[in-house]
């Protein structure tokens, strides 16, 4: 199955083909908007999307592996406790782009891996990611995720946190099955760093004095770390040499930074339907992300005070005015510029890898990370 070629079809056609039926809305939206964005920016890639013959996609080269990962995800969600299974299935089957498992598949294959333990590793990473989402939506009091109401909105905070714990635990059970201490070390360390990143962010909430450096530390910890762990552990599984291992590790880090920078732009500029989550959540929570940091530094004293107040107060009352100031200060362009710089660094690391279709897909992924609208 080719996810990219599916981008060129209408949604009903996609639906017929997928095993994880409920994964369709977000993956399809991702594909469609990705295609749309590429065309708007006139990238060559859009020609590929129009032609089934040449359509390159981030999912294409590992399409079979990807589909096996989706099967394994469903299989390994099992629990004797019905509510655990219900909530875990609810969020997992809501879809998501599955970018982190994709990164495991592409990294290990690009480093020459030829067996199939990478499938399990990919599932571990997606479970860790999903656990962070369950917890994150509680902390951020978010009520929409992957185009549906969040688990916390449906079942309350306590079940969401506990099922998040279950997913972490299941991920660790599977990690042990991989029987690789170095991989366990990377993933357990990443899990600790992510949790600390989320706590750090919580401590920064409603504080308008967060610096750009502090912001970058938070996004490195809460987001880039898992991307880094995905590509790094993929490289280790493949017994990559030192240069390749380091390259893939850095690739994940820079890709993850680009990804979160864009996420923080989309929180102001995005389309809720395409993203499957609310616009304005960050301001509502009083999160001082880069668009706000830049807007504060490049606004009049009076407007700066207004943004500071909006951050301190939280909520959405000031969103229209804040959006105006973000636009007027060039904060979106600045944040996107930083995202593109990170994507370029990710792309540069790939020179350490031998030519392969997987390497090409990793290159494409750096472009997707900054062109995405979902």
Instruction: Give the binding site for ligand IPE (CB under 6 A).
Output: 96-97, 99, 132-133, 136, 140, 142, 146, 194, 198, 222-223, 260, 263, 277
The closest residue (CB) to Mg ion is 140
Q: Which does 198 bind (CB under 5 to 8 A by kind): Mg ion, ligand IPE, none?
A: ligand IPE
Task: Specify which residues 144 forms β-bridges with.
Answer: 149
Residues with Cβ within 8 Å of 115's Cβ and at least 6 positions away in sequence, in order, are none
Helix 290-297 vs helix 212-219: crossing angle, to nearest 10: 170
When the beta carbons of 98 and 359 are compared against Mg ion, the nearer one is 98
| Contact indicator for 55, 48 with CB cutoff of 8 Å | yes
**DSSP letter (8 states) at residue 277:** S
| Span from 128-136, 226-234, 235-243, 297-305 in contact with Mg ion (CB under 5 A) | 128-136
Q: Which does 223 bind (CB under 5 to 8 A by kind): Mg ion, ligand IPE, none?
A: ligand IPE
Out of 93, 126, 136, 198, which residue is the one contacting Mg ion (CB under 5 A)?
Answer: 136
| Span from 130-138, 169-177, 206-214, 362-370 in contact with Mg ion (CB under 5 A) | 130-138
Residues with Cβ within 8 Å of 156's Cβ and at least 6 positions away in sequence, in order, are none
When the beta carbons of 142 and 318 are compared against ligand IPE, the nearer one is 142
Task: Specify which residues 149 forms β-bridges with.
Answer: 144
**Least distance (Å) from ligand IPE to the CB of residue 230?**
11
| Contact indicator for 127, 170 with CB cutoff of 8 Å | yes
Q: Which does 133 bind (CB under 5 to 8 A by kind): Mg ion, ligand IPE, none?
A: ligand IPE
Lookup: tokens for 342: 């990170």
Q: Which does 125 bind (CB under 5 to 8 A by kind): Mg ion, ligand IPE, none?
A: none
**Least distance (Å) from ligand IPE to the CB of residue 91?**
9
* CA dist list (Å): 201 to 47, 188, 196, 261: 41, 20, 8, 15
Distance of CA 176 to the CA centre of its chain: 24
Of residues 245 through 264, those in contact with Mg ion by CB under 5 A are 263
């Amino acid at each position: 199955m080719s996810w990219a070629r599916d981008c060129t079809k209408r949604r009903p056609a996609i639906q017929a083909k997928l095993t994880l039926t409920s994964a369709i809305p977000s993956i399809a939206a991702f594909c469609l908007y990705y295609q749309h964005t590429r065309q708007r920016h006139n990238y060559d890639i859009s020609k590929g999307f129009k032609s089934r013959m040449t359509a390159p996609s981030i999912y294409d080269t590992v399409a079979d592996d990807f589909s096996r990962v989706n099967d394994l995800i469903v299989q390994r969600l099992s629990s004797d406790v019905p509510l655990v299974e219900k909530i875990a299935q609810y969020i997992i089957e809501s879809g998501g782009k599955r970018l982190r498992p994709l990164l495991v598949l592409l990294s290990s294959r690009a480093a020459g891996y030829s067996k199939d333990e990478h499938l399990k590793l990919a599932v571990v990473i997606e479970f860790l990611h999903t656990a962070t989402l369950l917890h994150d939506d509680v902390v951020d009091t978010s009520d929409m995720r992957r185009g549906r109401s969040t688990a916390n909105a449906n079942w309350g905070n306590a079940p969401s946190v506990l099922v998040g714990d279950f997913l972490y635990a299941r991920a660790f059970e599977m990690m042990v099955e991989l029987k690789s201490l170095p991989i366990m070390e990377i993933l357990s360390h990443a899990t600790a760093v992510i949790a600390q990143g989320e706590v750090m962010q919580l401590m920064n909430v409603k504080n308008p004095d967060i610096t750009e450096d502090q912001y970058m530390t938070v996004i490195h910890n809460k987001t880039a770390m898992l991307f880094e762990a995905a590509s790094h552990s993929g490289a280790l599984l493949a017994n990559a040499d030192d240069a390749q291992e380091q390259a893939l590790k850095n690739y994940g880090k820079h890709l993850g930074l680009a990804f979160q920078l864009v996420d923080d732009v989309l929180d102001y500029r995005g389309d809720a339907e395409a993203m499957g989550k609310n616009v304005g959540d960050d301001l509502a929570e009083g999160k001082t992300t880069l668009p706000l940091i830049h807007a504060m530094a490049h606004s009049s004293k009076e407007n700066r005070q207004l943004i500071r107040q909006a951050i301190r107060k939280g909520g959405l009352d000031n969103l229209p005015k804040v959006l105006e100031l973000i636009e007027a200060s060039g904060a979106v362009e600045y944040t996107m510029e930083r995202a593109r710089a990170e994507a370029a660094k990710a792309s540069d690391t790939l020179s350490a890898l031998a030519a392969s279709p997987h390497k090409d897909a990793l290159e494409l992924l750096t472009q997707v990370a900054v062109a995405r609208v979902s």
